[in-house]
């Protein structure tokens, strides 16, 4: 809800989005501690994907993409994910 985003999307629309988003997401308890990514700040995404038993981790971050596949998690960029769905 930072004011810097007001010029892009109204506060009201952002609040509406967050309410909708909260109802649609799957909240995951992190059950794995991972330190395999060369960028330590990205380990949290691997932890979430593994803890959720995700099939895909969709990212444009090369530090994550280079790990594809990570166990049973396919790490792909958005366009490759969309192509895989066809």
Checking DSSP bridges between strand 56-58 and strand 74-76, what pairing results, if any?
parallel
Mean pLDDT by 10 residues, the chain (86 residues): 90 94 93 97 98 97 98 97 90
User: Are the C-beta atoms of 37 and 18 separated by less than 8 Å?
Assistant: no
Tokens of 60: 């444009």
Beta-sheet strands, E only, within 10-72? 56-58
Q: Which residue shows structure tokens 């308890």?
A: 29
Reported as a single tens digit per residue, the pLDDT across 37-57 is 999 999 999 999 999 999 999
pTM of the model: 0.75
**Cβ-based neighbour number of residue 30 at 10 Å:** 12
- State the Cα–Cα distance between residues 62 and 77, nearest whole angstrom: 9
Spacing of C-alpha 58 from chain mean position: 6
């Amino acid at each position: 809800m930072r004011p810097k985003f007001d010029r892009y999307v109204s506060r009201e629309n952002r609040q509406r989005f967050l309410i909708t988003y909260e109802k649609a997401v799957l909240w995951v308890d992190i059950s794995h501690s991972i330190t395999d990514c060369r960028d330590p700040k990205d380990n949290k995404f691997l932890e979430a994907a593994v803890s959720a038993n995700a099939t895909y981790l969709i990212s444009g971050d090369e530090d994550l993409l280079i790990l594809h596949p990570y166990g049973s998690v396919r790490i792909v960029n958005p366009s490759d994910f969309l192509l895989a769905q066809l």
